[in-house]
Amino acid sequence: MEAIGILDQSYDVRSICTSTIHCDKLPHVKLILIPILLSCALSAAEPFTLQSNVVYGMYSGSALLLDIYKPANPKGFGVIHISGSGWTAPLAYSAEELKTNSQSLLYAKALATSGYTVFVINHRALPRFRYPAPVEDAQRAVRFVRYNAARFGIRPDRIGGSGGSSGGHLVSMLGTLDGKGNANNPDPVERESAKVQCVVARAAPTNFLKGTNGSFLIGMQKPAAEISHETVEYKTYSEASPISYVTSDDAPFLLMHGDKDEQVDFSQSVDMEAKLKAAGVKVKLLLIPGGGHGATFPGAVKPPDYLGEMVSWFDQHLTGK
């Protein structure tokens, strides 16, 4: 089921599909009634509802938005999902949102169908905004969800993170940064912790000092390999790398990566797995033979049930089943 938001109003597809609607009393519905009715059969089959365009923060007058997938039979646990985009967003007003692309739908639906309340976010992105803006927004989303946990029907102390590619980088940061809130901040949301308690990261760039060129994200002319280790630029590359923050109190990590990935080298997950293991953190690397870069691991030869593995990881390490 889908909740349709029109400015400050919302209408549930179930009520539209099953009730008599007087359009003169709901003027905003007139333009969208027909496509909604056409989608009723599909919507009725989904074991969750969708609440769109929840504002989780404001940046310089612009709203940061997330969508909430609410399962019919909730487990009481939330997962922040961040889709991959190369940390970029199109500049056109009509551009597709990160939170509504096919990657987001694929992973969020799998989680919501399994009982997880899923929060799929937009974040500030290139070319307008570079690091650390996407990380700050991801942290804000966790803080917002945690602060409103009772409202969303989830546990505030057990929140997970899932994401792929650049989204995998961001949720890896959420699982490794300490994420402490500022107790003196006048905004109560900012007093909350931004650390998640379980991570699933697909094809995540984890180390900009080795193997992955982060110059685009960070706004540098040269990659880390070409500059002195004593420069501010090199230290910024390190600060943007999840592998730099690994400690024994980090969240359990499921890393999923195709061994034929030509955009984010498989070694990024191999090195992250080794670093987490050395710190005593629970970690699993799910190798996708022949898998390339993408939400479905294109080119994979008999891929494992990666969506099922994701759900199982959260079941085991987030809910403690």
At residue 139, the pLDDT reads 98
Q: What is the pLDDT of residues 41-93, one digit of tens each?
A: 445 578 999 999 999 999 999 999 999 999 999 999 999 999 999 999 999 99
Query: Is the Cβ–Cβ distance between 295 and 85 less than 8 Å?
Result: no
Q: What is the DSSP string of 29-93?
A: GTTTHHHHHHTHHHHHH-SEEEEEEEEEEEETTEEEEEEEEEESS--S-EEEEE--STTB---ST
Q: What is the pTM of this model?
A: 0.87
Superfamily name and number for 48-206+241-317: Alpha/Beta hydrolase fold, catalytic domain (3.40.50.1820)
Residues in a beta bridge with 88: 126
Whether 12 shows a pLDDT value over 70: the answer reads no
In the structure encoding, which two tokens stand for residue 216, read together? 């685009």
CB-count exposure of residue 132 (10 Å: 0-12, 13-18, 19+): middle
What is the average per-residue pLDDT within 8-29? 38
Residues of the chain with pLDDT > 70: what percent?
86
Distance of CA 158 to the CA centre of its chain: 16
In the structure encoding, which two tokens stand for residue 218, read together? 């960070």
CA distance 202 to 306: 10
Q: What is the pLDDT of residues 144-166, one digit of tens each?
A: 999 999 999 999 999 999 999 99
Q: What is the mean pLDDT of the chain?
A: 89
Q: Which helix (H) or strand (E) holds 11?
A: strand 9-12
Helix (H, G, I), strand (E, B) or coil at 159: strand
CA distance 192 to 194: 6
What are the φ and ψ backbone dihedral angles of 203, each rounded to 5 degrees? 45, 50
Q: What is the pLDDT of residues 162-208, one digit of tens each?
A: 999 999 999 999 999 999 999 999 999 999 999 999 999 999 999 99
Show me where the domains of the chain are located: 1-45, 48-206+241-317
Query: Is the Cβ–Cβ distance between 207 and 272 less than 8 Å?
Result: yes
What are the φ and ψ backbone dihedral angles of 210, each rounded to 5 degrees? -150, 120
Whether 23 shows a pLDDT value over 70: the answer reads no
Which of 28-51 are b and which e, b meaning 16 or more Cβ less than 10 Å from the residue's Cβ? ebeeebeebeeebeebeebebbbb
Q: What is the pLDDT of residues 289-311, one digit of tens each?
A: 999 999 999 999 999 999 999 99
Query: Is the Cβ–Cβ distance between 258 and 293 less than 8 Å?
Result: yes
Whether 6 shows a pLDDT value over 80: the answer reads no
